[in-house]
Amino acid sequence: MREVHVVRHPLVQHKLTLMRQAERTTKGFRQLLNEVGMLLCYEVTRDLPLADVEIETPITTMQSPMVAGKKLVFAPILRAGLGFVDGMLDLVPSARVAHIGLYRDPKTLQAVEYYFKAPPDVAERLVIVLDPMLATANSAVAAVDRLKERGCKELRLVCLLAAPEGIERFHGAHPEVPIWTAAVDSHLNEHGYIVPGLGDAGDRMFGTR
């Protein structure tokens, strides 16, 4: 319960530092988010169960392990969550993708849903929710609420940066959903931005600011 895994892998930390830098270009930021997505995917799938299957090598037959258990769904929260998807699909090409459209009302900071499309068997799968910036956590809480309404029982959350306030709020609502993040920053400012953070991840990824 209330698990938070901070991924301290040197490549993740190095790339996160590059992403924090205000001078990073849109192209560079997007590329790095993709790469970090791949590395975080490696970590969030570290404990997936394996089962031996019989195969034939060119030399002989053998029992060899393959990933078993629930199949995966990546569930990016639009827009910024999209930045993780390609890197993760490179590692798990057979995964399905559920798109969850939520935006933050800039005045109330509440999550407003405008789109939800998940594979029909989403309830049978392990769902990995993707939200690069866990700030107020309103979007992540709403996304997991919605996925639970659809019957999902096994969920994980991957972010790039988390604020302590966001972790507290998320685990207040969904204590059994573990979080993977590259760093836990200091706090949220009065506009709901993570400090020191990296700014608005969606704007930086799409060049919309």
Among candidate residues 17, 25, 108, 208, the one labeled active-site is 108
Q: With binding defined as CB under 6 A, does residue 159 bind ligand URA?
A: no
CA distance linking residue 140 with residue 77, whole number of Å: 8
User: What is the pairing mode between strands 4-6 and 179-181?
Assistant: parallel
- H helices, E strands: number in the chain: 6, 15
Distance CA 114, CA 60 (A): 54
Residue type, 24: R
Q: How far is the CB of 83 from ligand URA (least distance, A)?
A: 10
Question: Is residue 116 involved in binding ligand URA (CB under 6 A)?
Answer: no
Among 44, 135, 160, 205, binds ligand URA (CB under 6 A): 135
Residues in the chain: 209
Asked if residue 83 binds ligand URA (CB under 6 A), the reply is no
Which lies closer to ligand URA via its Cβ, residue 16 or residue 152? 16
* Nearest to 167, CA basis, from 198, 122, 131, 196: 131
Q: Is 201 annotated as a binding residue?
A: yes
Point out which residues bind ligand URA (CB under 6 A): 80, 133, 135, 192-194, 197, 200-202
- Active site members: 104, 108, 200, 203
